[in-house]
Structure formats: structure tokens, C-alpha cells
């Protein structure tokens, strides 16, 4: 990152920056549309008065490079960076391995099985038992059209705003957490076998709770 003289700042200089009180989130996803648009919408929803206190950086990398990119981003702010990767099971062959390697290296993981639309579905009150991405996307698209009256587009830049406005984010988090807990109680803790399920809600819950707590003070 260049300074005013056009020189890139060293990691030591970056580390001396004021620490954002509500966290500095580095989020890497492997899509340039759905997940990225959703996360950018989350970032843009932060109230203006808190945008300097909570920082969210979103970037994209190939699926196989998610972990390395998250580590690289986090290394720029090693004292307080919160690295995350967000991706779907979909057709990813090394899905479980990517999740386990990330966790071993201290990277948080927001995964969805079979795809991110299973998490979006929770905004409208349920996580139907879809077992593949095609049926999940089609099912969510039908629900989206029914609730919002618009055709669902995976490249919709306003997807986060629409889900929050027409759905219920707090309820969605509760639904996703209950489903995750059910899988764990049933001794199913391998992400690829936990379907339908997601952990994206843990990221959303953490960020929105911090915002709500800060605004109430």
C-alpha cells in the first residue's frame, strides 16, 4: 500500500496503525459474484460513524489459493487481523481438506454446503434439505421471487441489502446455528457430510453483534 510519496508501506509501518476497535476482517472468497457481492454489502451496511472502528476487506482468489491469500493478507496486520475464507462445497474436491488446513493455520472458515444459497434461504425462515447446488439455487430462486417479487441473479450487487430488508437476519443466524448444532450432536463434523449446513452465519453474527453493541453504548 503506497504512502503519499508513492512508496509502499512496510509491514512494520502498517502494524503501527491505529487498531480498529471492532475488528479488522480480511475475507477471501473464490467467487467474483455471489459471495463477494454479499460480503461487500455487509461491509457497506456498517454505519458511517463506525466504519473506521470496524474494517472489512474482501478479495478473491482461486479456490486452491484461499488459505495462502488469507495468510498473506493477515500478515500485513498480524497483531489484530481476523482472517476468513468464505466458499461453497459445490464441486470442490478438496473441500474438507481446505477447511481443516485453514483452521490449523488459524484462519476462520465460513463454508456452505451445498452452496451459499442455503445460507440465504435461512433469511426467509428455513434451510431446506437440498443436497446439491443446482437444486439449492433453483429452490432459493423460487423463494426469492415469491418473497421479493424479483428474479434472483447471482451477480446481484444488492443481495445483502435485499436479504436483510425482506428477510430476518437474526432469525437466519438462529436457524443456521441450530442446524450446525444438530449435525454436531449427530456426530457429523466433516463439513462435506454436513448438508444442508453453513458456518457463514458465525461471521455475520460476530460482525453485526459488535456493531449493535457499539451503537447501544
- pLDDT value of residue 3: 45
Query: What mean pLDDT do residues 42-46 have?
Result: 95
Q: Is 65 a residue whose pLDDT tops 60?
A: yes
- Over the stretch 10-29, which tens digit does the pLDDT of each residue have? 555 444 455 667 788 999 99
Q: Is 147 a residue whose pLDDT tops 70?
A: yes
For all residues of the chain together, what is the average pLDDT? Answer: 89
- Over the stretch 157-192, which tens digit does the pLDDT of each residue have? 999 999 999 999 999 999 999 999 999 999 888 999
Distance of CA 181 to the CA centre of its chain: 19
Angle between the N-to-C axes of helices 159-166 and 133-148, in degrees from 0 to 180, rounded to the nearest 10: 60
CA distance 112 to 33: 15
**DSSP per-residue letters across 3-29:** -TTSPBPPHHHHHTSPPPTT-EEEEEE
pLDDT tier at 79 (50, 70, 90 boundaries)? Answer: low
Query: What mean pLDDT do residues 109-122 have?
Result: 98
Amino acid at each position: 500500500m503506497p504512502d503519499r510519496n508513492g512508496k509502499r508501506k512496510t509491514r512494520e509501518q502498517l502494524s503501527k496503525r491505529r487498531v480498529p476497535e471492532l475488528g479488522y476482517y480480511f475475507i477471501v472468497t473464490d467467487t467474483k459474484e455471489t459471495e463477494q457481492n454479499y460480503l461487500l454489502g455487509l461491509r457497506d451496511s456498517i454505519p458511517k460513524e463506525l466504519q473506521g472502528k470496524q474494517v472489512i476487506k474482501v478479495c478473491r482468489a482461486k479456490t486452491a489459493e484461499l488459505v495462502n491469500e488469507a495468510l498473506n493478507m493477515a500478515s500485513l496486520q498480524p497483531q489484530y487481523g481476523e482472517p476468513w475464507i468464505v466458499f461453497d462445497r459445490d464441486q470442490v474436491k478438496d473441500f474438507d481438506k481446505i477447511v481443516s488446513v485453514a483452521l490449523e493455520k488459524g484462519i476462520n472458515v465460513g463454508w456452505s454446503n451445498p452452496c451459499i444459497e442455503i445460507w440465504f434461504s435461512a433469511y426467509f425462515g428455513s434451510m431446506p434439505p437440498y443436497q446439491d447446488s443446482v437444486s439449492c439455487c433453483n429452490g432459493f430462486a423460487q423463494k426469492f421471487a415469491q418473497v421479493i417479487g424479483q428474479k434472483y441473479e447471482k451477480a446481484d450487487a444488492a443481495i445483502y441489502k435485499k436479504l436483510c430488508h425482506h428477510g430476518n437476519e437474526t432469525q437466519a443466524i438462529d436457524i443456521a446455528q441450530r442446524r450446525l448444532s444438530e449435525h454436531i450432536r449427530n456426530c457429523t463434523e466433516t463439513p462435506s457430510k454436513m448438508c444442508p449446513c453453513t458456518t457463514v452465519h458465525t461471521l455475520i453474527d460476530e460482525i453485526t453483534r459488535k456493531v449493535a453493541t457499539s451503537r447501544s453504548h
